[in-house]
Amino acid sequence: MARLAGARVLSLDYRLAPDSPFPAALVDALAAYLFLLYPPADSGVAPVAAQNIVIMGDSAGGGLTFATMLAIRDAGLPLPGGIVGLSPWLDLLHSMPSVLTNAFSDYLPAEGFTQGGQGSLKRVAKLASTVHPDDDLLNHPDMPEIQHYASNAVLDCPYVSPLVERSLEGACPMLVIAGDGEMLRDEAIVFAKKNAGASPILHLSLYDDMPHVFPMFDFLPSARYALEQAADFIQSVTGDVQGIVNKSFVRVGVDGNRQPLEEDVVIGWEKRVGKLGGGHQVLANLPQTEA
C-alpha cells in the first residue's frame, strides 16, 4: 500500500483481546493518531496534518478503524483525511443475515464468531428454556459472553460495533471494500447505505465471489483491483490527485469491470437501515433472510 499510494505507513501493534479487551485497542489507536498530530518535542518526528492521514484496517482492524474515527469526531479532534475499511467487522452482535447465509462461501469458521467456539454455541442452545426472545439478551444472567473483545453489556456501543452508530454526520471521507461471498458482507452494505447522506465522500465496493479480506490474496486480480482502488482513494482524499466522485456504490467483477450496485441490493436494506442505531434489541429482531 505504501508503494501503490506513495505514502508512508505507520503500522500499529495495538493490544489484543482477551488479555487486553475493549477499550485497550481503541485507546492505542487514538494514542497513535495523537502522536502523529502532536509528537513529543524529543521524538524526532515532525507533526503530520490531519488531512494528510488516512486510517486503514481490515477485519477487526477495519472495525477499529471506524470506531477510531467516531472517537476522534466525538472528541472534537481534527478529522483524518479519510478512512479505508477492508472487510470491516462493524457488528459484533452478528445481526446481519450474511453471517449465516455466506458461511459456506467464506473461509471464516461460523463457530469462530462466538467466544469458545462450539462450546459456547452449545451453552447458548441450552438457554432456550430460560431465555425468551423478548428478554434483554445481552444482559441476561444466563447468557455467556459472546466475544473476547468486549463484554456483552457494551457490544451495542458504537465504539465496539460502529454499525449501531445513529449518524456519521461530520465524518471524514470513507471507502468500504467487501467481498460478495464473505460473512461480513451485509454489515458493510448496511453501514454504507445508512451513512451515505452523512459523509461528504463515501464509496462502497462489493467484489464478486470474494471472501473475507480478499486483498491479502494478492495473486487474485480482484485483490489487485481492490488495493489499487484503496491507493487511488488515499491519494484523492489527501489531495495528491483530483477527480474522485462524492458517492459510489459499485459491484466489481472478477475481471475488474465495475457496475452500479444493483438497486435491489441497496434499496432492499431500507427497512433495516431504518431500524438500525438503537441498540441490540432492535438488531436482534431484524429479519434473517433477504426479502
**268-286 residue pLDDT tens:** 545 554 444 443 333 333 2
Would the pLDDT of 173 be above 80?
yes
Please give the pLDDT value at position 255.
86
Please give the pLDDT value at position 7.
94
CB 195 within 8 A of CB 106: no
Enter the pTM of the model: 0.83
Would the pLDDT of 267 be above 80?
no
Distance CA 6, CA 268 (A): 38
Please give the pLDDT value at position 264.
56
Distance CA 120, CA 86 (A): 28
* Residue 262 neighbours by CB distance under 10 Å: 12
Q: Give the helix ranges, DSSP H, for 38-96.
A: 60-74
Top mean pLDDT of 112-116, 228-232, 280-284 is at: 228-232
**35-49 residue pLDDT tens:** 999 999 999 999 999
CA dihedral 96, 207, 174, 99 (to 10 degrees): 10
Please give the pLDDT value at position 127.
60
Distance CA 65, CA 78 (A): 15
Give the mean model confidence (pLDDT) for residues 190-202: 84
Please give the pLDDT value at position 118.
47
* Residue 240 neighbours by CB distance under 10 Å: 14
Give the mean model confidence (pLDDT) for residues 12-16: 97
Which residue in 262, 241, 246, 119 sits closest to 174, CA to CA? 246
Place of cell 458504537: 158
CATH 3.40.50.1820 corresponds to the domain 2-107+150-284: yes
Per the DSSP assignment, residues forming a β-bridge with 175 are 84, 203
CB 206 within 8 A of CB 251: yes
Pairing relationship of beta strands 258-260 and 54-58 according to DSSP bridges: unpaired
Radius of gyration of the chain (CA): 19
Distance CA 168, CA 198 (A): 5
Please give the pLDDT value at position 263.
57
